[in-house]
Amino acid sequence: MKKILFLLLFLIAIPSFSQDAGLGGQGKEISRQRGRFFVDGKQISTRETKQLLAANEEAYALFKKGKAKESTGGILIAVGGGCLVADLVKGLVSDEDYPTALTYIGAAALVVSIPVLIGKNKKVDEGLATYNKGLKKTLGYQPTNYQLNVTASAKGCGLQLKF
pLDDT digits (tens, 9 = 90+) for 2-54: 777 666 666 666 555 444 444 445 568 898 988 899 998 899 999 999 998 98
User: By C-alpha distance, which of 19, 41, 16, 15 is closest to 28?
Assistant: 41
The pLDDT tens digits of the residues spanning 59-109 come to 999 999 999 999 999 999 999 999 999 999 999 998 888 889 999 999 999
Judged by phi (left if over 0) then psi (alpha if -120 to 50, else beta), residue 96 lies in beta
- E strand or H helix at 27: none
Q: How does DSSP classify residue 94? A: S
Q: Give 39's DSSP letter.
A: E
* Per-domain residue ranges of the chain: 23-138
